[in-house]
Amino acid sequence: MKRVLVACGNGIATSTVVASKIREYAEEKGIALQTDQCKLMEVPGKASSYDLVVTTGTFGGDVDTPVVRAISLLTGIGQEDTLQEIITKLEQ
């Protein structure tokens, strides 16, 4: 099972929406995953325990875990491309 950390400014509202969309899309693709949420500033301390970090804002930190910026999952513009990028990174 893959683990995805979803980070937003406060770790509550937008990360909940994004995590839900990622889980639904992954389920459609037959990929089992777990999502957890946090604040952007918590990412450096948590990222190493995850396969992927997805952010709704700009993250300038330095982590070894792949990071995908997913503002499109809130705006809807380019959403399919972002979801596919997430799946591709999880399959690597």
User: Which among 8, 54, 68, 86 is annotated as catalytic?
Assistant: 8
Mind giving me the DSSP string for the chain?
Answer: -EEEEEEESSSSHHHHHHHHHHHHHHHHTT--EEEEEEEGGGHHHHGGGSSEEEESS------SS-EEE-THHHH-TTHHHHHHHHHHHHH-
Active site residue 38: no
Kindly list the catalytic residues: 8
